[in-house]
Amino acid sequence: MSKKDRLSGNEAVAIAMRQINPDVMPAFPITPSTEIPQYFCDFVANGKVDTEFIPVESEHSAMSACIGASAAGARVVTATSSCGMAYMWEELHVAASDRLPIVMNLVNRALSGPININADHSDGMGAKDTGWIQFYAENCQEAYDNFIMAYPIAEDKRVHLPMMCCQDGFITSHAVENILLEDDEEVKKFVGEYEPEHYLLKDGEPMAVGPYSVTNYYFEARRAQDEAMSHVPEVAKEVQERFAKTFGRKYDFIEKYRMDDAKYAIVIMGSAAGTMKYYVDRLRDEGEKIGLIKIRMFRPFPAKDVAAALKDVKAVAIMDRAQSFSNAGGPLGVEVTNALFHARSQAQAMDYVYGLGGRDLLEEHARTIMDDLKDIAANGHDDYYRYLGVREA
Amino acid sequence: MADFISAKTINEESPWGELTEGLSIYEPGTSAAVMTGEWRTLTPTFVEEKCKQCLLCVPVCPDSAIPVVNKKRLDFDYDHCKGCGICVRSCPFDAITMEGLD
């Protein structure tokens, strides 16, 4: 039986971690993810979990300890944000190339500098090419649900890759929302036991993890990693279907909102999807044929799903809560326009950089997008991206 | 991908789908199969007639490149000796020489 509660995203994720009862949690505090290991330490101290908590001296060490523990055969969890994850950079790649199904909650926060502790996606987007699976949550419920689905995806034999469950700093991590929590036993049953086939502590099978790989081998190992990533959609689909059957909440890699007869669309990720749905409703009330596509799974990128969902639109706005300094748009813009190009789409596409360093997405921004989309659908455009909500000179 | 891939079956022609996940190795001592002796620039020579079989050289070799059979050391395993010269220094009887070593 589901139980109604009111929780912040950090509390919800910490509860999911307690229910899963992983073997090892190395973690180092950084705002706004600090509460996750803090709540979890309470669970450890009160005997609610059997987890070995390792209070490491840095995030570099946190991810190193995750790798060691996971290679040893443990189910491993950690949480971090922003510069904390930046300090894990080297190890993120190692965790993926060693094919270790570590699960991390990334509470998205702007990267320094200038130093700022509020929400944007520059940390997650910076790690998009590390070989980790990435799911982004819109709200506390999704942050909780994504975390429960993470281990069955990451630990599947066809995958064996680490996974990042992302939620927006403060907006999702600290805001208290109504949420449905599932029974401890049901969650445990859903996630199941971790039974790795090869691990360092396996009796009778001496093993080497992460050996030096010369030029004759490195390329093949990376190719195999990409193949593992290509299995994520089939596995995640199975897990999402089992989740829907068990707990009643249905998820897909993308969520289509009021897209049925839409001529215009907004592609967005994270908590601002919820805000934007509200603005889409307002625009719909005024007769505008606009819909929204929320990206839940960013790595691997569901390019074909996105292109199919956009096949009937005249113009699309892609919302990037991160910069990439290419002078040609942000990371989500690149993914979506790539998907559109390969689908030979005729839609006009405009990328928008918004919400950096925790700046709010306002109704006037949605109205600017609506006006822009109608204009570029009629008249075309030669710019790749625009800014929303920045003070212009 | 096969469940168990032995190091012996992997070589530089192996396609990506026939290697282990993360290139992990599921058996011990596989470095013996890799001919690392080709890294060597200086080469030790075993002078058998001077050797007293004290075996001081054997444990100091970082690459286990001095084989011992029936409590007697044999000539060097040049497939794995890197020519570090530590054994030369350890020998009290000048039974190991190395040209080019200061």
Mutation site for B-interface testing, chosen from A198, A203, A231 by largest number of B Cβ within 10 Å: A198
Closest to A232 (Cα-Cα) out of A301, A304, A306: A301
Cβ neighbors of A368 (< 8 A, separation 6 or more) are A388
The answer to whether A112 touches A154, Cβ cutoff 8 Å, is no
Q: What is the pLDDT of residue B5?
A: 76
For residue A389, whether the previous peptide bond is cis, meaning omega lies within 30 degrees of 0, is: no
Res B2 pLDDT > 70: no
| CATH hierarchy code of domain A3-247 | 3.40.50.970
DSSP B26-88: -SS-GGGGS-GGGG-SS-EEE-GGG-----SHHHH-TT--S-EETTEE-S--TTT-----HHH
**From B16, B21, B25, residue closest to A99, measured CB to CB:** B21
Topology of domain A254-387, CATH: Rossmann fold (3.40.50)
Please give the residue of chain A at the shortest CA–CA distance from B3.
A197
Crossing angle of helices A89-97 and A59-72, rounded to 10°: 10
Asked if B26 lies within 8 A of A98 by C-beta distance, the reply is no
Crossing angle of helices A140-154 and A9-20, rounded to 10°: 30
Distance from CA of A160 to the nearest CA of B (A): 9
C-alpha distances in Å from residue A314, one per residue of A254, A386, A387, B25: 20, 18, 21, 53
Per the listing, tokens 């068990």 go with A246
Please give the residue of chain B at the shortest CA–CA distance from A219.
B16
Q: What is the mean pLDDT of residues A135-156?
A: 98
Domain ranges of chain A: 3-247, 254-387
Structure confidence at residue A393 as a pLDDT band (50, 70, 90): confident
| Among A161-175, A243-257, B25-39, the least confident range | B25-39
The answer to whether A351 touches A329, Cβ cutoff 8 Å, is yes
Q: Is residue B99 within 8 angstroms of chain A, CB to CB? A: no
Q: What is the pLDDT of residue B72?
A: 97
Distance from the Cα of residue A232 to its chain's centroid: 14
Mutation site for B-interface testing, chosen from A158, A161, A207 by largest number of B Cβ within 10 Å: A207
Res A121 pLDDT > 90: yes
Res A308 pLDDT > 80: yes
Distance from CA of B20 to the nearest CA of A (A): 8
Please give the residue of chain B at the shortest CA–CA distance from A97.
B22
Asked if B24 lies within 8 A of A216 by C-beta distance, the reply is no
Interface contacts (A, B; CB < 8 Å)? 53
Structure confidence at residue B10 as a pLDDT band (50, 70, 90): confident
The 10s digit of each residue's pLDDT in A12-66 is 999 999 999 999 999 999 999 999 999 999 999 999 999 999 999 999 999 999 9
Asked if A97 lies within 8 A of B25 by C-beta distance, the reply is no
Mutation site for B-interface testing, chosen from A202, A220, A225 by largest number of B Cβ within 10 Å: A220
**From A160, A213, A223, residue closest to B16, measured CB to CB:** A223
Q: What is the pLDDT of residue B1?
A: 42
Question: Using CA atoms, how far apart are residues A135 and A317, in angstroms rounded to an integer?
Answer: 21
Q: What is the mean pLDDT of residues B19-42?
A: 91
Q: What is the pLDDT of residue B32?
A: 85
Mutation site for A-interface testing, chosen from B3, B11, B13, B23 by largest number of A Cβ within 10 Å: B23
* DSSP state, residue A296: S
Question: Using CA atoms, how far apart are residues A18 and A183, in angstroms rounded to an integer?
Answer: 12
Closest to A102 (Cα-Cα) out of A153, A166, A173, A143: A153
Question: Using CA atoms, how far apart are residues A107 and A309, in angstroms rounded to an integer?
Answer: 28
Q: What is the mean pLDDT of residues A378-390?
A: 97
Asked if A98 lies within 8 A of B25 by C-beta distance, the reply is no
Domains detected in chain B: 1-34 (no CATH), 35-102 (3.30.70.20)
| Among A92-106, A147-161, A339-353, B17-31, the least confident range | B17-31
Distance from CA of A332 to the nearest CA of B (A): 29
